[in-house]
Amino acid sequence: MPERRTVALVTLGCARNEVDSEELAGRLAADGWQLVEEAADADVAVVNTCGFVEAAKKDSVDALLEANDLKDHGRTQAVVAVGCMAERYGKELADALPEADGVLGFDDYADISDRLQTILSGGAHAAHTPRDRRKLLPLSPVERQQAAGAVALPGHGDADALASAPSDLPEGLAPASGPRAPLRRRLATSPVASVKLASGCDRRCSFCAIPSFRGSFVSRRPSDVLGETRWLAEQGVKEIMLVSENNTSYGKDLGDIRLLETLLPELAAVDGIERVRVSYLQPAEMRPGLIDVLTSTEKVAPYFDLSFQHSAPAVLRAMRRFGDTDRFLELLDTIRSKAPQAGVRSNFIVGFPGESEQDFAELERFVTHARLDAIGVFGYSDEDGTEAAGYDAKLDQETVDARLADLSRLAEELTAQRAEERLGETLDVMVESVDTGEDGDGAVGRAAHQAPETDGQVVFTPESAARAALAPGRMVAAKVVGTEGVDLVAECLEEAGR
């Protein structure tokens, strides 16, 4: 019997990429590939790249080069680039990085097994010439939904995957149920998993290139989202995080812009799911009904990942966004009037073309009064193909760097203060890992206001963790007794077995 082909998926970037990697893993497992964790143990290393900002692109190139080095002293025979950077640059990336044996775009995902087999056998697959994926579907959201089956939508699945999938799927592989439900294989053992709510974006922020290579906004059907969530719960997942480029637009192409308000309680009712979290919310699209559902539905985290980006009106207009400091603060007041413990995070861009000292001071005013739990700060840089790249009034790099440093210091101070405000609070904490070894982190989890990777964590006191015999995936009540920056130190209030 011939040795099975092995493949490792190396994922960079956001949670959306993690879902895409698990869809690719599902397709490959269904076709007989053996999935391994380490690239050094694989015949083919597939690097799911990020193409968002320069730093992320550099990380992706570094990962490809690192995987290529394995070919000299490991099992690895081929290195293949997929993901946003591969889609965004295609042939240009292939020419600039000959170390990659293949550069595959989203249109190749349905045939990923054949593509990898060709490359592994020494054949070549021509990299695509990038195109604006917004032009692949109709302008009308409803017409777009009807035509979406003919366009590659990573994380959505397709009819061809259903037709070609064997009836006896390998253990641990999500059954593709429905015309656009994905095959999926989990690549992690965490009790938390992301579920893709939609793909693409219809907004035209002047600094962002994502819509050009991710395409127009397309919602997944509620039945597909529910089916995938049920399968994840069967795999031991306790918390799901809904991801897309813009979750507040969910349902507009299905004829109901309020569909998320209906879907959230259904997801929260799935047997085995303890928490549902929604990410990527647009402040300009927040509506009272959605705030009510996010703040009052049992098992739905009162968590608001709001993409403010700035608060000075002139800068926001140049970004092709809406709002101002006072309107944003009113939104936060509305949220906290309904859920005082609600978590809020956001990202901000400093040094945008034309940003004056007064604009930057206005942003500092907003951040100072917003009481955010987590803050990401980025210095502006031109992105290929964006409107802002052609703007005049660019700030010099020294000014951008100085403002980045100033706001980062302020953000660190303010988020630490916000953590201290939670002293004495009793929180529901999802236990994520328990490592009581000499060099371990002990028992660690996350409260409702803390998303994976970005927002800090809860560290249990050793005595209370031992008393409660904590295990990953368990939801426990804990009282905050200390802070370490944005991280909380908490005492578990439950006994073992409860």
Is 135 part of any domain? Answer: no
Question: In CATH, what number is assigned to the domain containing residue 472?
Answer: 2.40.50.140
Portion of the chain with pLDDT greater than 90, in percent = 76
Same domain as 237, residue 121: no
Q: Which two tokens stand for residue 223?
A: 């039945």
Is 225 part of any domain? Answer: yes
Same domain as 461, residue 355: no
Same domain as 404, residue 288: yes
Q: How far apart are CA 141 and CA 201, in angstroms?
A: 11
* Mean pLDDT within 96-122: 93
pLDDT at residue 70, rounded to an integer: 85
pLDDT digits (tens, 9 = 90+) for 331-365: 999 999 999 999 999 999 999 999 999 999 999 99
How would residue 498 be classed by pLDDT, with cut points 50, 70 and 90?
very low
Task: Assess whether pLDDT exceeds 60 at residue 496.
Answer: no
Residue 84 labeled ligand binder = yes
Is 484 part of any domain? Answer: yes
Query: If you search the block for the tokens 């009510």, which residue do you land on?
Result: 292
Same domain as 465, residue 390: no
pLDDT at residue 162, rounded to an integer: 46
Same domain as 211, residue 85: no
* Mean pLDDT within 467-487: 94
pLDDT digits (tens, 9 = 90+) for 84-96: 999 999 999 999 9
Is 161 part of any domain? Answer: no
Write the DSSP assignment of 344-401 as a string of letters.
EEEEEEES-TT--HHHHHHHHHHHHHH--SEEEEEE----TT-SGGG-S-PPPHHHHH
pLDDT digits (tens, 9 = 90+) for 390-414: 999 999 999 999 999 999 999 999 9
Tell me if residue 276 falls in helix, strand or coil. strand
Q: Which of 389, 421, 453 is the last residue of a domain?
A: 421
How would residue 255 be classed by pLDDT, with cut points 50, 70 and 90?
very high
For residues 59 and 100, is the Cβ–Cβ distance under 8 A?
no
For residues 269 and 256, is the Cβ–Cβ distance under 8 A?
no
Same domain as 374, residue 482: no
Please state, rounded to an integer, the average pLDDT across all residues of the chain.
Answer: 91
Is 194 part of any domain? Answer: yes
pLDDT at residue 175, rounded to an integer: 66
Question: In CATH, what number is assigned to the domain containing residue 318?
Answer: 3.80.30.20
How many structural domains comprise the chain?
3
Q: Which of 390, 421, 452 is the last residue of a domain?
A: 421
* Mean pLDDT within 301-323: 97
Question: In CATH, what number is assigned to the domain containing residue 12?
Answer: 3.40.50.12160
Task: Assess whether pLDDT exceeds 60 at residue 230.
Answer: yes
Residue 201 labeled ligand binder = yes
Q: Which of 387, 421, 455 is the last residue of a domain?
A: 421
Same domain as 237, residue 375: yes
Is 284 part of any domain? Answer: yes
Same domain as 467, residue 363: no
Query: If you search the block for the tokens 């953000």, which residue do you land on?
Result: 411
Same domain as 196, residue 297: yes
Task: Assess whether pLDDT exceeds 80 at residue 172.
Answer: no
Angle at 39 between CA 36 and CA 41, to 5 degrees: 60
Same domain as 115, residue 201: no
Residue 492 labeled ligand binder = no
* Mean pLDDT within 370-382: 96
* Domain around 37: 6-126
Same domain as 93, residue 45: yes
Is 146 part of any domain? Answer: no
Residue 316 CA, distance from chain mean position:
24
Tell me if residue 13 falls in helix, strand or coil. coil
**445 membership: H or E segment, kind and range:** strand 442-447
Is 236 part of any domain? Answer: yes
Beta partners for residue 276, in sequence order: 240, 300
Higher pLDDT, 169 or 141: 141
Same domain as 333, residue 317: yes
Task: Assess whether pLDDT exceeds 50 at residue 159.
Answer: no
